[in-house]
Chains A and B, each alone.
Chain A
């Protein structure tokens, strides 16, 4: 198991957003989280790279282990954790820099390369892995903001991949994109599956069935059911899961 959460509670101020989450996420597979808005699926995703630390007034109880080590232990190096657990956000958020500088950013801040040649190589590799190299190779030094939304999101994926994380968290990565761009992102997820442990939050159930191996269903801050995607969408154990996937609410 790559990631294991045990009795995880999460609070925004006095509001409890996650209630006793227990889950084991396997390595090199795609795990999807579904559920209605405000069910805690994104909040849970953001506990996995401690992104919620940046929000004042939040509090975590319980633990999350990455390869058996509790990432909420007091001596955890959060910066090092985020190098191992990359993240792609809902809205494409490239920096107002060139395409090259966007991708090179992670290498620069973490001091991962020694030479310009090595930097070029890693940037190209990441852009190729994110399936956007052929589209941008002739314009690496123009602004990333000049690209379309779908291209920007793949730049953001390349930016996350360049530091070679072990886990890739994706928070509704295609929700701001058109169907064609969405399809490209989904193809990319399937391609990356063999190399990375991918955890994706989506409000699109078809997307979960298309890309994921496991699916977890969240409701009101609780993980209601977690099983293979096949099982969740065909023979769920919990009636609430069944009601949600058949469209009775949400």
Chain B
């Protein structure tokens, strides 16, 4: 009986230990949310959401940063999802699993996911701006500086590189889950491999691809390091209208308000409110994608 009660005690202790770990995490999250909401909610107004900042962030709103963040995430998704899906399709549907090239690509994808985001930022400057952008300027614009400088185009491309592994992995998982039966069923009806991919495989993989896109958006919307050198502006009273324009970004704006303001304490309410907007925006982007995914899934199930 003693042994049994000892085992019982250790059960209770473990349950308590794991439970309190959860409790600590939850309270920290709650604390964070309460602080952000209580500090920022009072500052949120239509005016705050719809105007540009002024007086070094002391007054005015954050509309250019909201707009810039949304446009950045949109462009990033437009680049990362097709590239990631194409890579996953190649890896899973075309490449031989044991070929050295396949292994190399897989290793590259895994390593890409582990690269610190600031390195992506530097890569963006070196590759997109200094190399690609400058080449475009030299060839098409007689060396006038247009593409060879920080721009929302290059920032979104850099961010797309950062989020690419997420899309690739999610898409590949989705492809793996599709039964061989469906591929064979399609091929046996005289469909080509490409028709099978477009008409049978991709529709079924769509929820998984959307999961990848959701994760990419969540990751990308809050990242500042990759866009720091590649396109984010400290202060820009107008909205980006061309791919080569710079843009304001909520995450970077938070950094600016917190560290670069002439009077940090006075900007505190705006700082809280900006953080709140960033949180809510990321949350809304997620919700939208989750709803789309749920609809696609329901349609597949019939």
Instruction: Pick from B182, B190, B195, B301: contact of A95, CB below 8 A.
Output: B182
The verdict on A197 contacting chain B, using a C-beta distance below 8 Å, is: no
Contact yes or no, B185 A93, CB < 8 A: yes
The verdict on A105 contacting chain B, using a C-beta distance below 8 Å, is: yes
Q: Contacts A79-B190, A82-B189, A163-B190; is A96 near B302 (CB within 8 Å)?
A: yes
Total chain B interface residues with beta-carbon distance under 8 A: 22
Which of chain A's residues have a CB closer than 8 A to the CB of B181?
Answer: 89, 91, 93
The verdict on B144 contacting chain A, using a C-beta distance below 8 Å, is: no
The verdict on B263 contacting chain A, using a C-beta distance below 8 Å, is: no
Q: Using CB atoms, name the residue of chain B closest to A90.
A: B181
Contact yes or no, A145 B301, CB < 8 A: yes
CA distance A56 to B93 in the complex (A): 12
The verdict on B176 contacting chain A, using a C-beta distance below 8 Å, is: no
Q: Contacts A89-B184, A91-B181; is A110 near B190 (CB within 8 Å)?
A: yes
B204 CB, nearest partner CB in chain A, Å: 6
CA distance A82 to B200 in the complex (A): 17
Q: Contacts A56-B96, A98-B302, A105-B199; is A160 near B179 (CB within 8 Å)?
A: no
For this complex, into which size category does the number of interface residues on chain A fall? 20 to 34
CA distance A83 to B186 in the complex (A): 11
B296 CB, nearest partner CB in chain A, Å: 11
Contact yes or no, B190 A93, CB < 8 A: no
The verdict on A49 contacting chain B, using a C-beta distance below 8 Å, is: yes
Contact yes or no, A87 B188, CB < 8 A: yes
Which of chain B's residues have a CB closer than 8 A to the CB of A110?
Answer: 189-191
For window 188-231 of B, CB contacts with A under 8 Å fall at 188-192, 195, 199-200, 203-204
Cross-chain pair count, CB within 8 angstroms: 76
Contact yes or no, A109 B191, CB < 8 A: yes
CA distance A95 to B184 in the complex (A): 11
Which of chain A's residues have a CB closer than 8 A to the CB of B195?
Answer: 109
Which of chain A's residues have a CB closer than 8 A to the CB of B199?
Answer: 105, 108-109
Chain B CB within 10 Å, residue with most, of A80, A97, A146: A97
Contact yes or no, B302 A145, CB < 8 A: yes
Q: Using CB atoms, name the residue of chain B closest to A82.
A: B190
Q: Contacts A79-B192, A105-B199, A109-B195; is A96 near B186 (CB within 8 Å)?
A: no
Chain B CB within 10 Å, residue with most, of A49, A96, A109: A109
Which of chain A's residues have a CB closer than 8 A to the CB of B184?
Answer: 51, 54, 87, 89, 93
Residues of B within 8 A of A (CB): 96, 179, 181-192, 195, 199-200, 203-204, 300-302
Kindly list the 9 A-B residue pairs having the minimum CB-CB distance in the complex, ordered from nearest. A143-B302, A93-B181, A83-B190, A87-B188, A109-B191, A106-B189, A93-B185, A82-B190, A96-B300
A-B contact pairs, 15 of them (CB 8 A): A54-B184, A82-B188, A82-B189, A82-B190, A86-B189, A89-B181, A93-B179, A95-B182, A105-B199, A106-B190, A109-B186, A109-B192, A143-B302, A160-B189, A163-B189
Residues of A within 8 A of B (CB): 49, 51, 54, 56, 79-80, 82-83, 86-87, 89, 91, 93-98, 105-106, 108-110, 142-146, 156, 159-160, 163
